[in-house]
Amino acid sequence: MTMTFRVAVFLIPLAAATIAGPPPSTVTRADAMATAEAYRNVRWVPTEANTLHGTDRSRIRVDTPDASYKPKSGFAGWWHPGLINTGMPYKWGGFDTPDSFLAGLSDGKAAGDVCTAEKRRLLDAAVSRQAVGIDCSGFISRCWNLPRAHSTRTITALCDPVPDFKNLRPGDILNAYNSHVFLFARWTTPDRSKMLVYTTGTPPIWAVQLGPLRTRQMAPLGYTAWRYRGMRD
């Protein structure tokens, strides 16, 4: 099943730095897609212990995207305690694997932590160690088999630009600096005017999902296309 996304307007990205030398890992396009599917399809049954709407032990604010989360602005939570849920939830600064996510749930950690304006202001200082999940750039980092998480501010330094969006291939990304990143999956129209992408932290739900985008809307919203230098066919 795919989702229909709403894409927010972002600032135009700044020029990316370049990291010299070989890429820190290699990955095939098929393996990147398989990893993305594993995140989208992970099944889990949380308990009330995995919900948190308040501060953690380090006094960092955490809001899990469970169904009780209904903010005045932004989009609501989705997962339900005691039921089978599908898809890893979004967590600000998250870099979990499916296995470490499930282990964290068993340890009573919070299942996800939504992005807020305050989290964007605080950046790494707003990452909770008492929550598990994945964020947009952490997801890309895992799909590319990177040894550590990169942010939307740094991940393009591992890439070469794709000047024409219509040359995107599976495993490439559309990145908005310091904002959001999508993993390109495939084209859905012969003229390449529409695509399917993986994302997390995009409406309608705070989770890893697969959904459509229009090619023409991406550049005006501040997105640029990139190909990881360690990507192999």
pTM value is: 0.92
For the segment 147-176, the average pLDDT, to the nearest whole number, is: 97
The whole-number pLDDT of residue 14 equals: 37
The span from the CA of 41 to the CA of 23, in Å, is: 28
The band of 74, judged by pLDDT with boundaries at 50, 70 and 90, is confident
The band of 15, judged by pLDDT with boundaries at 50, 70 and 90, is very low
Q: Which two tokens stand for residue 20?
A: 């010299």
Do 151 and 93 touch, CB atoms closer than 8 A? no
Residue at token pair 């190909």: 227
- The total number of residues shown for the chain amounts to 233
Per-residue pLDDT tens digits for 100-152: 999 999 999 999 999 999 999 999 999 999 999 999 999 999 999 999 999 99
Do 169 and 31 touch, CB atoms closer than 8 A? no
More confidently predicted of 87 and 73: 87
The whole-number pLDDT of residue 10 equals: 38
Percent of the chain, pLDDT > 70? 91
The span from the CA of 32 to the CA of 129, in Å, is: 26
Q: Which of 128, 95, 125 is nearest to 110 (CA)?
A: 128
Q: Is the pLDDT of residue 215 over 80?
A: yes
Kindly report which listed range (5-14, 57-66, 112-121) carries the lowest average pLDDT score. 5-14
Integer Rg of the chain from CA: 17
Do 36 and 185 touch, CB atoms closer than 8 A? yes
Do 225 and 172 touch, CB atoms closer than 8 A? yes
Per-residue pLDDT tens digits for 179-205: 999 999 999 999 999 999 999 999 899
Beta bridge partners of 113: 91
Average pLDDT for the chain: 93
Residue at token pair 């964290």: 104
What single letter denotes the amino acid at residue 43?
Answer: R
The whole-number pLDDT of residue 20 equals: 57
